Chains A and B, each alone.
Chain A
């Protein structure tokens, strides 16, 4: 998952919390008769398939958000060819979602910059941190430029009738 605004995270957590029925203690709301939270995690994990666990571990937060998977099954003893294909499909979906999120993030930032008075920004920049501001602005300019160029290239490919299939479909 890509980094989100703090408020968005809190809202999502709150929504999740509201969706849970807290009236009676049960497995849904984390109560396991005679058990602990750790046992709960274990009961949940035991119910998951190998594909679920593989996907979960590949999309853990300490793994890069974009982590391209090889076509060849790296764990043939653990996962069958079909299972590996499913893992690739699901991880590919996650990559696709992250990419969309990043693109929309960029779109939002670019929109924020529209019609802003740059002279005011120049005046208001803290004197001690001017170099940081400059580096940040150059970084942003570079990202926007590269995004624009890459999208243009894709558009050209589309106009040349080169079929570009999403990674999601390619794995399936």
Chain B
């Protein structure tokens, strides 16, 4: 062994040691390029069926997550998204009921329907009518349920 290491000597020795200890095989020493290349190869090795299965499972999980989140948000949506400031909500409020600083949109559902109607095709019209009817039913259903809960809460409070 030399008395003082030169860099090439030192490097060669260190490499041999690394090979011996297995440090070279440590994934932490890999570059990102190597890691991604390996992952891509692995993905290639998966059969088409397996890939499909994995993707379907991913999609299902994502949908489920979205559904759960939006179910949770429904009530919040009512308050924040459809608050008094939203012009859509103002359709139900007559202009006289608004405070002086609040913007008057001047539209009623009837004017909206009358103005928008000529631009709607038959299919769109049917679609909208059906969806609005269902939504109205669901909303009044939700209002009833919330009313029930309000009554329950007031009973609990009295007790």
Report A's interface with B, CB cutoff 8 A. 2-3, 61-62, 64-67, 95-96, 98-100, 102-103, 105-107, 109-122, 124-127, 129-134, 136-148, 150-155, 164-167, 169
Contact = CB atoms under 8 A, between A and B. Distances in A.
Interface of B: 67, 70-72, 74-79, 82-83, 85-89, 91-93, 95, 103-120, 125, 128-129, 131-143, 145-150, 153
Contact of B95 (A64, A105, A151): A64
Contacts of B116: 96, 99-100, 102-103
A24 B59 CA distance: 49
Query: Could you tell me the dominant secondary structure of chain A's interface residues?
Result: helix
A3 B102 CA distance: 13
A82 to B, nearest CB: 24
Contacts, number: 215
A110 B132 contact: yes
B76 A2 contact: no
Query: Could you tell me the dominant secondary structure of chain B's interface residues?
Result: helix
Given A2-B87, A103-B128, A124-B74, A151 B113 contact: yes
19 contacts: A62-B103, A98-B107, A102-B87, A106-B112, A106-B132, A107-B128, A116-B74, A118-B142, A121-B74, A121-B78, A122-B142, A122-B146, A124-B76, A136-B89, A141-B137, A141-B140, A147-B112, A150-B110, A154-B114
